Chains A and B, each alone.
Chain A
Amino acid sequence: MVTPTEPLAAPPAHEVILKVKDLSISYDGKTALSGVNFEVRRNEIFGIIGPANSGKTSFLRALNRMDEFQHRMRVQGQITFAGRDISSIRNLYALRRMIGVVFPLPVGLPLSIYDNVALAPRLTGVRNKAELDDVVERCLTRAALWDEVKDRLTSLGSLLSGGQQQRLTIARALSQQPEMLLLDEFSIAVDPVTTMRIEEVLKELKDEMTIVLVTNLVQQARRLADRTAFFLNGSCVELGDTERMFTGGATDQRTIDYLEGRFG
């Protein structure tokens, strides 16, 4: 029997990978973030800027259900990732594998450099040495660290310099082959040259994954982000096309003040 083919609906201009609806986050009843509504598109770099205490880190934590191990943290509202309401996901391991995170302070695990990067594939059961070698080299290269460490892959990742550890952390996140990469002020412990190298990497990675980039450096958001959200004191004040926002298109006076460095 031949089924008549449905006429294909016109593909949406942008595929939405993450949708946040009425998101509120509180710690011990103290609100850290409230009323956040927006969508993140597949393969974009989504920038989040804002002064300290605006709830940026809390937002990232909610995305891969870190509230599960921050027992004072409560998340309300709806987060839809890859079509699923994440509060209904039972297999949080899979969710976290699909979302790589890089936090401000680099975390080189006390394993060899090789094992740091091979950890994620091994957790999913990969044992084949050649396959692991391949992942390690590819991820370290992408994170702009391969040349520096290729001769000492067996030394401890936790004893690398801060900037190297941060790139190791990025390599480790990449080894999960994530759909989405969350970066929280990744350049705090990294020198400017390395920061630039990582920024180049992020631009390339955009083709393979979606990146949410929290940054204190508004110029970094301008360089990298396709769209940028401005968080202030626990709410999302403004969201828009980065270039427009930085070229006078910001509508909220507080955003304009922040971008011009008048506070924060």
Chain B
Amino acid sequence: MTTLDTNDPAADPEVQTSVFAASPNEHKAHTVQQVFKIGFLAVTLLLLIPAAAILGVLVFKGAPGLTWEFLTTKPTDNGAAGGISTALVGTVWMTGVALAFSLPLGVAAAIYLSEYARDNWLTRTINVAIVNLAGVPSIVHALFGIGAFVYFLEFGKSVLAAGCTLAVMTLPVVIVSTRESMQAVPQAFRDACWNMGATRWQTIWKVVLPNSGSGILTGLILVVCRAVGETAPIMFTGAVFFRQFYASGLFDKSMALSYHLFSVSMHVKDVPEHVPYTVALTLILVVLSMNAVAIYFRMKLRGKKKW
């Protein structure tokens, strides 16, 4: 902890007349500032503990079971034995479908809201609606998914229906994160382009979008995290409890990791103790590996000062 210069002649005769000697008020302000700094640091460290604990336990208990064989063989005995390959592949499929729909649609909506829509009551209502949509419980999205995709659009219980449900659920985060990063591009850039005779789209394409990459990547990362992790939205729309086949196509059902984790933790009998931990660890690794590229590019973008 640093201290300020004082006027204590005993401590240092030279500073007695120093103009840099701190007044009582400055001492107090400085102390308060140090206390706050340490306080915030403590809170941050405290919050890291549960995260580190979870990861530690998963690695400690789950890592030994995490073998190539476990990942690539099909489950048997309702998941109590064998590997998790069908669940792993199913999760990748569903996440891929979710991304394929929610990223382009979300970015398009964000472009409209940020760059085209006028600031009127309708736009404001839409913005509030989007934020609230992000807070709708996933079970509600699940029910919507059944009604809309499984029955109304007649996708049946399928990877496609599950992926679409995940897409609807994650659209708001893509829209919000993309819109925020577009709003962070200074208005002066747009004015300059428009004044040169550029259309709105030319301006978006040349100046706004290239500088919104980090928001789009953030959206992508959030979509992957939720799509891989959520159980409720896929449980009724495309994921099955146990199946030894890979999905034959978008209209087929499949196992999924999150649902599988739920089953082996709660329902299946005679599961070896380490299996739920290994499945959970796999889940986290899938999220990380699917996000690795996005995280890498986001770090690169963030480090580069562009104006």
Q: Are A and B interaction partners?
A: yes
Q: Which residues of A contact B (CB under 8 A)?
A: 64, 66, 69, 71, 92-97, 99-101, 103, 105, 107-111, 119-120, 123-124, 156, 158-159, 169, 172-173, 176
Answer yes or no: B29 CB below 8 A from chain A CBs: no
Q: A105-B188, A108-B307 are in contact. Are A120 and B197 (CB under 8 A)?
A: yes
A119-B307 in contact (CB<8A): no
Give the chain B neighbours of A93 by CB distance below 8 A.
197-199
A158: chain B residues within 8 A (beta carbon)? 306-307
The answer, among A66, A94, A159, A169, for a CB contact under 8 Å with B197, is: A94
Which one of B119, B202, B206 contacts A111 once the chains associate, using CB atoms below 8 Å?
A: B206
Interface residues on B, range: 20 to 34
Give residues 183-206 of B contacting A (CB, 8 Å). 188-199, 202, 206
Closest to A68 in B: B194
Please, how many angstroms separate the alpha-carbon atoms of A66 and B307 in the complex? 24
Distance, CA A173 to CA B195, complexed state (A): 9
Residue of B whose beta carbon sits closest to that of A123: B198
A101 and B197: CB pair below 8 A?
no
A159 to B305 Cα, complex, angstroms: 9
Contacts A108-B307, A110-B207, A110-B307; A96 near B191 (Cβ below 8 A): no
Q: In terms of DSSP, what is the predominant structure of the interface of chain B?
A: helix
How distant is the Cα of A123 from the Cα of B199 in the complex, in angstroms?
9
A107: chain B residues at CB < 8 Å are 188-189, 191-192
Bound: A96/B191 CA distance, A: 11
Which residue on chain B has the smallest CB distance to residue A169?
B192
Q: How far is the CA of A159 from the CA of B118 in the complex (A)?
A: 31
Pairwise interchain contact A120-B196, C-beta atoms closer than 8 A: yes
B residues within 8 A CB of A172?
Answer: 192, 196
User: Beyond A107-B188, A109-B192, A158-B306, is A176–B207 a contact (Cβ under 8 Å)?
Assistant: no
A94-B198 Cα distance, complex, nearest whole Å: 9
29 contacts between A and B (CB under 8 A): A66-B195, A69-B194, A71-B118, A71-B119, A93-B199, A96-B194, A96-B197, A97-B197, A100-B195, A107-B188, A108-B307, A109-B192, A109-B193, A110-B207, A110-B211, A110-B307, A111-B206, A119-B196, A119-B198, A119-B206, A120-B197, A123-B197, A123-B198, A158-B306, A159-B305, A159-B306, A173-B196, A176-B196, A176-B197
Q: Which residues in A have their C-beta under 8 angstroms from that of B118?
A: 71
Q: Which residue of B lies closest to A173 (CB)?
A: B196
Q: Could you say which residues of chain B place their CB within 8 Å of the CB of A100?
A: 195-196
CB distance from A67 to the nearest CB of B (A): 12
Taking CB atoms, residues of chain A closer than 8 Å to B307 are 108, 110, 156, 158-159
CA distance A95 to B202 in the complex (A): 16
Which residues of the other chain, A, contact B197 by a CB distance below 8 angstroms? 92-97, 120, 123-124, 176
CA distance A252 to B211 in the complex (A): 51
Report the bound CA distance from A144 to B198 in whole Å: 25
Q: Mark B116-138, 1 if CB is under 8 A from A, else 0.
A: 00110000000000000000000
A94 nearest in chain B by CB position: B197
B198 touches A111 (CB 8 A): no
Of chain A, the residue at the smallest CB distance from B187 is A69
Chain A residues with CB under 8 Å of B190's CB are 69
> What residue of chain B has the Cβ atom nearest to residue A122's Cβ?
B206
How far is B195's CA from A169's CA once the two chains are assembled, in angstroms? 12
Instruction: Please give the distance in Å from B210's CB to the nearest CB on chain A.
Output: 8
